[in-house]
């Protein structure tokens, strides 16, 4: 049993909060005062502690550096009108971290340890949670292997850390995406469903090539046939066609987004027709060509909703309808924002008060 009451706290001598301009927050440049750290050795999570945010000292033989034995999570905290800090569905991040952990031979982080570490850290740094519209505290838990060993085998030593940083509004502009039909992000039997470090490393080069063609993001297709839409960079993707909300099923090749689940839950609650099913590239391209895509957007923690302005496929580029006319995605963005910041009743029990 882990005694989570035993989180040792070593506070900063002086907060650096004054360096933050809340009206103009640079993305992930300024980190909050403190970080959480725990070490796994001899089969247990030990030395739970909150320290001043600082560099880690690691052996050059650290296995995470050489082999990418590293997983992470991403979530956000918000302030409500009373200045209390609310986290959005954090227990879902705790569960998903352990889904990723199993795939990468990383030991489980007990949900109680995850929640206690998170709560203590965010409570201590609550002044870092901004309250301007569109802003939030981004929270990044990460677990990685620390064996000093360059042989390839499952590690026996790990670190679990949580760092946080205030963030402003992300992706405010609608994005231009390209349907990728050469490179793959994931494949059956692979690690697509895990938030594993290597997945993101491997996505950078294809994304860079797309950016050179003038796109902002890729839409990944299945690794085998490239005929089915999977998801975007760090977002799941949804379309509204024929008044029906369609999205790819959360299979082994897709990261099961918490935002995805939340948007689908609200859509069903509003009586919208929802289909989680394979979405053919052909179907999307033909609908785009005929002007029948009513809405297209990415869903994820970073942006909540990222409107898609245009879709590129091979030599064609389809300009979609005006973002302002998109009823569902604009409405669900406001609804989710209101739930996250405690402005409306939390009818699904999604918020967690720190």
Ligand X SMILES: *Cc1c(COP(=O)(O)O)cnc(C)c1O
**Interacting residues toward ligand X by CB under 6 A:** 74, 195, 231, 234-236, 255, 257-260, 300-301
Comparing CB distances to ligand X, the nearer of 268 and 290 is 268
Cα atoms in the 13 Å half-sphere on the side-chain side of 272: 24
Comparing CB distances to ligand X, the nearer of 234 and 310 is 234
Structure tokens given for 229: 């839409």
Tell the residue number behind the tokens 């882990």, with chain if given.
Answer: 2
Comparing CB distances to ligand X, the nearer of 48 and 237 is 237
- Least distance to ligand X from the beta carbon of 83, Å? 25
- Least distance to ligand X from the beta carbon of 270, Å? 19
Cα atoms in the 13 Å half-sphere on the side-chain side of 44: 8
Give yes or no for a contact between 113 and 48, defined as CB atoms under 8 angstroms apart.
yes
- Would you list the DSSP string of 80-119? -TTS-EEEESHHHHHHHHHHHHHHTT-----HHHHHHHHH
- Least distance to ligand X from the beta carbon of 2, Å? 25
Structure tokens given for 350: 């999604």
Pairing of strands 304-313, 175-179: parallel
Comparing CB distances to ligand X, the nearer of 119 and 191 is 191
What contacts 195, CB < 8 A, 6 or more positions away?
Answer: 71, 72, 73, 74, 96, 97, 100, 255
- Least distance to ligand X from the beta carbon of 96, Å? 7
Beta bridge partners of 51: 35
- Least distance to ligand X from the beta carbon of 220, Å? 8
Q: How far apart are CA 185 and CA 145, in angstroms?
A: 23
Give yes or no for a contact between 253 and 220, defined as CB atoms under 8 angstroms apart.
no
Q: How far apart are CA 283 and CA 301, in angstroms?
A: 27
Comparing CB distances to ligand X, the nearer of 149 and 170 is 170
Q: How far apart are CA 316 and CA 318, in angstroms?
A: 7
- Least distance to ligand X from the beta carbon of 335, Å? 15
- Least distance to ligand X from the beta carbon of 261, Å? 8
Comparing CB distances to ligand X, the nearer of 7 and 235 is 235
What's the distance, Cα to Cα, between the start and end of the chain in Å? 23
Comparing CB distances to ligand X, the nearer of 50 and 299 is 299
- Least distance to ligand X from the beta carbon of 265, Å? 12
- In this structure, the number of other CB atoms found within 10 A of the CB of residue 219 comes to 26
Q: How far apart are CA 118 and CA 121, in angstroms?
A: 5
Comparing CB distances to ligand X, the nearer of 7 and 210 is 210
- Least distance to ligand X from the beta carbon of 227, Å? 20
Comparing CB distances to ligand X, the nearer of 98 and 301 is 301
Structure tokens given for 150: 């360059």
């Amino acid at each position: 049993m882990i005694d989570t009451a035993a989180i040792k706290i070593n506070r900063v001598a002086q907060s650096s909060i004054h360096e933050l301009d809340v009206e103009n927050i640079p993305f992930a440049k300024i980190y909050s005062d403190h970080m959480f750290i725990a070490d796994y050795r001899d089969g247990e999570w030990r030395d739970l502690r909150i320290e001043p945010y600082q560099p880690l000292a690691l052996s050059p033989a650290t296995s995470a550096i050489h082999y990418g034995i590293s997983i992470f999570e991403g979530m956000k905290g918000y302030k409500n009108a009373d200045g209390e800090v609310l986290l959005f569905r954090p227990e879902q991040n705790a569960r998903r971290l352990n889904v990723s952990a199993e795939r990468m031979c990383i030991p489980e982080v007990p949900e109680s340890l995850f929640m206690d570490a998170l709560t203590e850290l965010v409570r201590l740094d609550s002044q870092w949670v901004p309250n301007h519209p569109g802003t939030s505290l981004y929270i990044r838990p990460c677990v990685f292997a620390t064996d000093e060993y360059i042989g390839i085998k499952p590690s026996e030593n790990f670190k679990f850390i949580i760092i946080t940083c205030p963030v402003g509004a992300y992706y405010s502009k609608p994005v231009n995406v390209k349907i990728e039909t050469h490179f793959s992000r994931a494949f059956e039997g692979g690690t697509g469903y895990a938030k594993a470090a290597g997945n993101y490393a491997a996505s950078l080069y294809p994304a860079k090539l797309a950016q050179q063609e003038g796109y902002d993001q890729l839409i990944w297709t299945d690794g085998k046939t490239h005929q089915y839409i999977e998801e975007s960079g760090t977002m799941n993707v949804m379309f509204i066609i024929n008044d029906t909300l369609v999205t790819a099923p959360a299979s082994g090749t897709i990261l099961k987004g918490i935002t995805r689940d939340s948007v689908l839950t609200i859509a069903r609650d509003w009586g919208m027709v929802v289909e989680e099913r394979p979405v053919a590239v052909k179907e999307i391209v033909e609908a785009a060509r005929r002007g029948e895509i009513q809405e297209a957007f990415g869903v994820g923690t970073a942006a909540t909703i990222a409107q898609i302005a245009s879709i590129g496929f091979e030599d064609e580029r389809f300009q979609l309808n005006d973002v302002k006319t998109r009823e569902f995605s604009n409405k669900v963005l406001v609804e989710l924002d209101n739930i996250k910041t405690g402005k409306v009743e939390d009818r699904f029990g999604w918020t967690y008060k720190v």
